[in-house]
Each structure stands twice: as C-alpha cells, then as structure tokens.
Amino acid sequence: MLQPFVIGLGRAGSGLHLRVLARAREIAPGLFTPGPVVACDPDVRRHRPDVTATDSIRAAAAMLDPNRTVAHVCTPPRGRAGVLAELAELGFRRVIVEKPLATCLDELAAIESIRDRHELDIAVVSHWLDSRLTEQLTGLIAPGGLRSITFDQDKPRFTRSCATSGHPTAFDVELPHSLGVVLRLAGAAELADAACADMRFANTVLPRLGSARLALEHAGGVRSEIRSDLTAPIRRRRITLELDGGRVVGHYPVGSDDDHAQLEINGRRVVFHDDALTRWLVRAYTHHHRPSGEHGTFDLHADIIRLLAAAKERTLAHVR
C-alpha cells in the first residue's frame, strides 16, 4: 500500500487531487494506506481538517516513509524543478506531477536532469488519455482515415489569471490536455503556426493570457488546430475529427461538477459517464505499486512542452 502526499493545497491539490483520491480509495482500497492524506502548503489558511497538513515538505517528510509514498506535486509549474529537487534529496522517488510539466525549455531541462540523477519515476497528469471518450475516438479512426482534428477549449478565467502568475501564458492553461490527445490520435507533429492574445477587461491587461492557438502538421499528413479562449463566456471542450467516412464531434466534461462526456456521430448523440481523472489516478498508483519501467507520460509531456515552447517563441517573434 502507498501513502498519498499532496504538495500544494490550491485548486489542483485541494479541489482535484484530494477529491479524486477519495474516489480512488473507494474503487481500489488495496493500493492506498488507510488514514488521512498527508499534505503541505506554506499558507496555513489552506489547511483542511480531513488531512494531516504541515507548512513544508521537510516537515511532512518527517512523518512519511519515502519508499512507500507517492508525492503529488500540485504547485504552479513555475519553480517546479525546485520542488522535485527537494523531494529527491529527501528520498522520494514515486511522483505524480500536475500539468503542465514545465513552462519553458530551461525548466524542462532542469526537471529532466533531476529525474535522471535521482531516478525519479514521474507520472504527469494526462487523464484525458484515459478518458472513455478518447478511447472511443481512437476506435473510430481507421488506418489512414483521419484527415484533420480541431480542438476548442474555452472558459472564463479572469479571476484566477489575476490572482496567480503560475501559468504565464494561455498556452500553459488548457492546451497541455488537448495537445496530448491530439498527439495520441494523430502521432508526432511539427508546429505549423501559432498565435496568442492578451486578456483585456475593465482597466486590466494581462499579456498573452487571453487566448492561444496552434496549428500542427503531423507525420502522417494530418493537420490539427487547437484553440483556447480564456475570455469566453461559456465553458467548452470540444474535439472535431474529419474522417474519410464523415465527421465526429466529442465533448469532454467541462468541470468537476459533472463527469459526463458526449459523442456525436452522423447526427446521433451519445452521453456517458467519463470520470477520467479517477481512472488515471488508479492506473498511476497501480504502476507505482509495482513499477515496471517508467509510467510513460513523462516523454509525452516533454514533447508537449517543446511544441508549446516553439509556439510561444513564434508568437513572441510576431510581437517583435
């Protein structure tokens, strides 16, 4: 059995990981040590009565066995290499990291160095790859039958964008999810084009946090486009596949309040339960319980960061 250790009790740690850990424990109790989850956050106002909380990683490490612990790194992506280095020095090896893995190539290189030097087994949150919707979309694609993919991820994000600087651009917020799905469905890709816009409202301007778009050319000739508007009035996570046999439209769950996906094929709509994050977490703990090689998500997310870094550089070049 493994002990969960959540680092960071913000939205990802408290709002997602603690909630999903409770579900995963009900589904697969044999994977988890009984008792409260251990957590740390320097802001004591975030501490919760249902977890054993401390204000530092080192303080939490004093009550944990690193060899039987999975550390959930739920801090903002900026500065994440320092968190991983501290965990490694304290003996932790099993790690789950929230997306995005990093926000630039220098951060990615630092994390890769820490991982290799300390032999960390890092699983990066990629739950849309475990989504039932992604599974069904994969099954609908015949060899050579995929022509193009369009992905729209929209949501209003004014309050969080003003409150935190952990995600420096709109490329870092939603696109790591959709880009992973696109690479899974269409294969390796090169950047074809990219664009980014500021977030503007009232007397506020947040540079490069309004919207993002990137276009990809895949090795098999498929072209994909991913768009994200963080000033939109509605939430939307829609993927459209153009196939030889017609068009398929999928809708991923838009929030934690309703874990249902929708699939439209030739005008017929199907709705089904799709709690992808719980499925992903159970699979990650199953891997960490009996590790056999790497989890498999680190290299994918490294590719995602490289594509996003190229997109950011292209948009900066346009500004210059």
CATH number at residue 95: 3.40.50.720
Tell me: do 198 and 253 sit in the same domain: yes
Task: Assign residue 186 the CATH number of its domain.
Answer: 3.30.360.10
- Asked if residue 283 belongs to a domain, the reply is no
Q: Within this chain, do residues 224 and 313 fall inside the same structural domain, yes or no?
A: yes
User: Are 211 and 177 in the same domain?
Assistant: yes
Are 161 and 232 in a shared domain? yes
Is 179 found in the same domain as 101? no
Domain membership of residue 47 (yes or no) is: yes
In this model, does residue 257 exceed pLDDT 60? Answer: yes
Last residue of a domain, one of 79, 103, 125: 125
| Any domain includes 295 | no
Are residues 214 and 79 both part of a single domain?
no
Q: Is residue 11 part of a domain?
A: yes
- Both 178 and 84 in one domain: the answer is no
Domain boundary among 125, 141, 161: 125
pLDDT at res. 318: 61
Note down the domain range covering 264: 128-278+307-319
Domain assignment of residue 289, yes or no:
no
Q: Is residue 158 part of a domain?
A: yes
Model pLDDT for residues 18-54, shown as the tens digit of each residue: 999 999 999 999 999 999 999 999 999 999 999 999 9
Averaged pLDDT of the chain: 94
- What proportion of the chain, given as a percentage, has pLDDT over 90? 89
Indicate whether 133 and 88 sit together in one domain: no
Examine the domain organization and report whether 133 and 272 are in the same domain: yes
Q: Determine the pLDDT at residue 45.
A: 92
Could you tell me the pLDDT band of residue 319, with boundaries at 50, 70 and 90? low
Residues 120 and 162 in one domain: no
- Taking 60 as the threshold, does the pLDDT of residue 320 lie above it? no
pTM of the model: 0.93
- Which pLDDT band holds residue 256 (cuts at 50, 70, 90)? confident
3-state secondary structure the chain: CEEEEEECCCHHHHHHHHHHHHHHHHHCHHHECCCCEEEECCCHHHCCCCEEEECCHHHHHCCCCHHHEEEEECCCCCCHHHHHHHHHHCCCCEEEECCCCCCCHHHHHHHHHHHHHHCCEEEECCHHHHCHHHHHHHHHCCCCCEEEEEEEEEEECHHHHHHCCCCCCHHHCCHHHHHHHHHHHHCCEEEEEEEEEEEEECCEEEEEEEEEEEEEEECCCCEEEEEEECEEEEEEEEEEEEECCEEEEEECCCECCECEEEEEECCEEEEEECCHHHHHHHHHHHHHHCCCCCCCCHHHHHHHHHHHHHHHHHHHHHHC
pLDDT of 220 reads: 86
Instruction: Tell me: do 165 and 218 sit in the same domain.
Output: yes
Please indicate, yes or no, if residue 173 is contained in any of the structural domains.
Answer: yes
Verify that 94 and 223 share a domain, yes or no.
no
Which among 102, 125, 148 is the end of a domain?
Answer: 125
Can you give the pLDDT at residue 255? 84
Q: Which pLDDT does position 317 carry in this prediction?
A: 66
Could you give the number of structural domains in the chain?
Answer: 2
Average of pLDDT values for 97-126? 96
